[in-house]
Amino acid sequence: MALSKLDSLYRAVILDHSSHPHHKGVLDGAVSLELNNPTCGDVIRLFLRLNDEEKIEEIAFDGSGCSISVASASMMTDVVLKKKVVEVLELSEKFSQLVQGEEVEKAEELLGDAAFLNGVSKFPQRIKCATLAWNALKKALE
């Protein structure tokens, strides 16, 4: 019964981020990158601004996709805002490991709500949905 309640909580958090995404919109004049998942048609446009300290000063996303793709983008923007690029790249790697079923120490502490997407590992076809925004972020920072 406890596992069922936990699963319900995970679903509720994912649905909330999908229905009411954080940092959704366009940042004029920001670095931008568009990435798509040709398998399912998800598309994300990511916008970001770095400050002089190599921290993400502002971040936003736009596009369309499934609930997992949108929720993951929303969660990602919360996690990486105001963090240094080097830390963001490490977090991105941790998230990738998590959704592929690997154990990530202190996942909730490091990834916030994005740690709720660990169940995606049970559905390999959905891993690309969950990692789309994170992959766009890595490419934008390159």
Predicted confidence at residue 133, as pLDDT, reads 97
Distance CA 81, CA 69 (A): 18
What's the whole-number mean pLDDT along residues 68-82?
97
Distance CA 117, CA 71 (A): 9
Decide: 45 and 34 in contact? Cβ < 8 Å.
Answer: yes
**Which tens digit of pLDDT belongs to each residue from 84-111?**
999 999 999 999 999 999 999 999 999 9
For the entire predicted model, the pTM comes to: 0.92
142 pLDDT tier (thresholds 50, 70, 90): confident
**Chain centre to alpha carbon of residue 66:** 13
Question: Can you read off the two tokens belonging to residue 22?
Answer: 């954080």
Q: Pick the closest to residue 89 from 53, 31, 141, 32 (CA basis).
A: 141
Rg (CA), the chain: 14
**Which tens digit of pLDDT belongs to each residue from 12-35?**
889 999 999 999 999 999 999 999
* Domains parsed from the chain with CATH numbers: 2-141 (3.90.1010.10)
Q: How many residues does the chain have?
A: 142
Predicted confidence at residue 1, as pLDDT, reads 42
